[in-house]
Structure 1
Amino acid sequence: MLANVNEDKDNILKDIDVFALDMDGTIYLDEYWIDGAKDFLKKIEESGRRYIFLTNNSSKNSKNYVDKLHKMGLDVDIDKIVTSGQATVYYLQQNYRGKRVFLLGNNLLKEEFREGGITLDDTNPDVVVTAFDTTLDYNKMCKVCDFVRAGLPYISTHPDYNCPTKTGFIPDAGAIHAFIKASSFRYPDHIIGKPNADIIKYLLARLHTTGDKVVMVGDRLYTDIAAGKNNGLYSMLVLSGETKLEDVESSEVKPHLIFDSVKEVIPLL
């Protein structure tokens, strides 16, 4: 029997103060708004509640997301953006202060790491961090595998296998883990992003609230929905990205709510 869709039978949403929103596949695809998404954001604020974007995508930094949303017609402050990159910087500050980091990531993420006081070192690092690197080349592949093979602490920003686009999917950080494992025989020692606790702790600290007042909204069972279910948040699956309704039936992770897209949530706010 398929789960109920586009319903809130338990009136969960009436007690929610903050909507933590995934971005890719939930609010937009590439540069295109998912139908109704802007109206959904407007209705959240009209109802006296807040939203914050929580993305595992570490190929961009928070400033880049602000710029992207501006170009798409939405102006938000930088404090409305939480990325796995930011949460990873916070984790490094807490656990590897002063250590040199080899970062497999885009220049935008490198900028964010440096601004967070992280020392980047491509030749003699103490720690390896891998992200969603869309500038990946063979030289980088060899370097990261060498450092991981040498036994350095190995951290990743997030576990997503694919990133949704308007035309399908492109390989994400989880696919990068797979090639490193094939060559170096190790998966990351620690992964920061959804569904793991580190990014949720960072989120709640930023929001100054508790998990029972937050609903995690996203299109992936194994990251977005698991992040909510595993860490004391409510969870809402939208079927506008990676996950299909039939996937819910076979998954151990069950969302509290399921909607075809955020557009269908508007009447309930």
Structure 2
Amino acid sequence: MLATVMEEKKHAFKNVNEDKKHILENIKYFALDMDGTIYLDEYWIDGAKEFLQRIEDSGRKFIFLTNNSSKNPKNYVTKLHNMGLDVNLNQIVTSGQATVYYLQQEYPGKKVFLLGNDLLREEFIEGGLILDEDNPDVVVTAFDTSLDYQKMCKVCDFVRAGLPYISTHPDYNCPTKTGFIPDSGAIHAFINASSFRYPDRIIGKPNADIIKYLLARLHTTGDQVMMVGDRLYTDVAAGTNNGLYSMLVLSGETKLNDVETSEVKPHLIFDSVKEVIPFL
């Protein structure tokens, strides 16, 4: 019995930190999740800066892809600068940006009620969208860190009235230094409790719209992109379900045992991005 258990453990671990099919040789772009993949809070994951440098030294490119719609690319550029890495705005993709792109394509000229903070409102306005608090054509909800009861009542009224209902991303919780705080998915839940509706469309990972936006930004096809992240149900699923390659890193939320029970399977598994460096 013990021998069988040991053999199962050996089988479970044998494909970690390996690229037997030489997938990485043909990858030109790395789409990277951030928290849990590249850093934790304000601290670099061991080897992450060297991993990013190696990507560039090998002639490849990286772009950060985050579901967090409470911050804009300028925030991330500043944060990374303060951590010792200089990137430009074109290297950041957020679910907020992808939502602006979707609305530009599908609801041109329509008035939008946005449940989001000031940073996201600025992005919507810069994207040429018309914001309307009183007579909108479409409702958009996000990770609103300025949420109050008046906003809650208003958004539920509009959703209950049957307006098209879009959300930036599905995450239920956002990790912090002290645990978790309610994220966009938790907002969906309270709206549903009052209006009996969930979003008609969710833009962020693992859904197709953010990947379409990403590929448009990169001017490439999915077979040249590796999605890298620490969550199976958002990061890995975003790649696997939308024609990209996917890599799970075990430096954040997901543990190796989770892979065995998940329907979503990554193409590659590494303990952290540090272990990827020899393959680039």
Calculate the TM-score normalised by the size of structure 2.
Answer: 0.93
- Verify: 1:88 aligned to 2:99, yes or no: yes
Between the aligned partners of 2:252 and 2:175, the Cα distance in structure 1 is 7
Looking at structure 1, the residues matched to 141 and 30 of structure 2 have their Cα atoms a distance apart, in angstroms, of 28
Counterpart CA distance in 2 for 1:71 and 1:26 is 18
Q: Does 1:126 align with 2:141?
A: no
Pair member with larger Rg: 2
- 2:209 corresponds to 1:194: no
Match 2:47 to one of 36, 47, 53: 36
The residue type paired with residue 244 of structure 1 is K
User: 1:239 maps to what in 2?
Assistant: 250
Q: Is the 8 A contact 1:102 1:120 kept in 2?
A: yes
Aligned pair count? Answer: 269
Letter aligned with residue 252 of structure 1:
E
Residue 160 of structure 1 is matched in structure 2 by 171
Which letter maps to 1:205? A
Query: C-alpha deviations, 1:62-96, integer Å up to 9, x for none?
Result: 12211111111111111111111111001000111
Residue 45 in 1 paired to residue 56 in 2? yes
Indicate the residue corresponding to 1:204 in structure 2: 215
8 Å contact kept, 1:156–1:190: yes
1:166 and 1:6, CA in 2 relative to 1: closer, same or farther beyond 3 A? farther
Superposed displacement of residue 144, structure 1: 1.2
Helix, strand or coil for the counterpart of 1:242?
A: coil
Q: Is the 8 A contact 1:126 1:153 kept in 2?
A: yes
Q: Take 2:227 and 2:29, find their aligned partners in 1: how far apart are those partners? A: 9
| Structural RMSD (CA) | 1.2
Provide, for residues 46-67 of structure 1, a one-character-per-residue CA deviation record: whole Å limited to 9, x for no partner.
1111001111111111122111
Measure, in 1, the Cα distance between the counterparts of 2:78 and 2:178: 23
Gaps of 5+ in 2: 1-7
The separation in 2 between residues aligned to 1:162 and 1:245, in whole angstroms, is 21
Give SS of 1:160's match: coil
The 4+ residue runs of structure 1 with deviation greater than 6 A are none
> Alpha-carbon deviations, 1:160-188, whole Å to 9, x = none?
12222333322211111111111111110
Secondary structure in 2 matching 1:155: strand
* Distance (whole Å) between structure 1 residues aligned to residue 34 and residue 272 of structure 2: 12
User: What secondary structure, in the 3-state scheme, does the structure 1 residue paired with 2:46 have?
Assistant: coil
**Alignment-mate amino acid for residue 226 of structure 1:** A
- The structural deviation recorded for 1:257 is 0.8
